[in-house]
């Protein structure tokens, strides 16, 4: 499975759909994709990981950077569609308790409105 990222915006909220493995080679691509959304005019970012088969510590670090931005700017940063492998990676580091995690993008968008 190759690595790809697709984005779209819905009501100003950035939706980022990631496919493949997030590792030290691909996490810079994810970071470069997320960076333009880390601006005051973006109310929140949803990262859909339902098509991610593997994520290493560099991928986790990229997501933590997104979370830090959201806290600093008082914005929302939501992860969705975590498969078992990705959830386990976050769980081992106890980050599953730190991130807002929703089952899918629709649930994440609904959470953004709250």
The residue that leads in pLDDT, 5 or 111, is 5
What is the residue-averaged pLDDT of the chain? 93
The secondary structure of 46-61, three-state, reads: EEEEEEEEEECHHHHH
At residue 112 the predicted structure's pLDDT band, cuts being 50, 70 and 90, is: confident
Q: What is the pLDDT of residue 39?
A: 82
49-85 pLDDT per residue, tens = 999 999 999 999 999 999 999 899 888 999 999 999 9
Residue 1 has pLDDT above 70, yes or no: no
25-58 pLDDT per residue, tens = 999 999 999 999 988 888 999 999 999 999 999 9
Fold of 4-112: Transcription Regulator spoIIAA (3.30.750)
């Amino acid at each position: 499975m190759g690595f790809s990222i697709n984005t779209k915006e819905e009501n100003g909220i950035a939706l980022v759909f990631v496919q493949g493995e997030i590792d030290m080679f691909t996490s810079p691509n994810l970071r470069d994709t997320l960076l333009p959304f880390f601006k005051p005019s973006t109310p929140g970012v949803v990262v859909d990981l339902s098509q991610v088969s593997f994520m290493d510590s560099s991928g986790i670090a990229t997501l933590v950077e997104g979370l830090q931005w959201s806290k600093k700017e008082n914005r929302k940063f939501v992860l969705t569609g975590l498969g078992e492998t990705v959830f386990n990676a976050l769980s081992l580091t106890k980050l599953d308790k730190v991130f807002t995690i929703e089952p899918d993008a629709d649930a994440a968008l609904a959470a953004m409105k709250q």
